A = this chain, B = another copy of it.
Amino acid sequence: MTIREATPNDLDGIWEIFEIVIKSGDTYAFDPNTPKEDLPKLWLAPTMKVFVAEENGQILGTYFIKPNQVGLGAHIANCGYMVHPETRGRGVGKQLFDHSWLIAKEAGYTGMQFNFVVSTNTSAVKLWEKCGFKIIGTIPKGFKHQQLGYVDAYVMFREID
C-alpha cells in the first residue's frame, strides 16, 4: 500500500469510499444523500491537500489536511479520514493518520484539531486517543445521528511538538 497525493483521476475512487461512509449517517456530518457533484468542494477544496492510500490500483482510503481557521488560526491543522469499509481492520486509518502527522509537521503546523468527532463513534474516539488526542470540548447534541437521534460531538486536539 502506498500513500500519495490525490490527482483529479482519483475522484471516482474517493467517491466510492465517500458515498458508502456517509450513507450510514453515524460518523460524518456530510448529508447521507450528498450528490457526487458536491465531492470536490467537500473533500477536494482548494484549501485542502488530499492524499489517497492505494494498493493494486484500488483506493483503500483517503484524507485531507487543511488549516482549521484562516489567518491567525491557520497554524492548527484540521484533517478528515475515510477508509473503505471492506478494508477496515487492516490499520489503514492509522497509517493515513501517521502520514498526515508527518505532513502536518513538515508544513509547520503546531497542533491538529478535529472539530466534530461523533461521541458514539467509539472506534474513532479510541483511535484518536491512542494517537495522543484529547477531548477538549463537547458540543451537546451537536450531531443528528441517523439511528440514535441527537448525540454529542467532540472537539479533539493534539499539540504538534
Contacts and interface: CB of A to CB of B under 8 A. Distances in A.
Contacts of A143: 72-73
A157 B136 contact: no
A107 interface: no
Q: Contact residue range for chain A?
A: 35 or more
Tell me if A's interface is mostly helix, strand, loop or mixed. Answer: strand
A146 B127 CA distance: 35
A13 interface: no
Interface stretch (A26-34, A50-58, A84-92, A94-102): A26-34
A155 interface: yes
Contacts of A32: 71-72
Contacts of A64: none
Interface of A: 25, 28-32, 34, 42, 69-76, 110-111, 113, 115-116, 136-146, 150, 153, 155, 157, 159
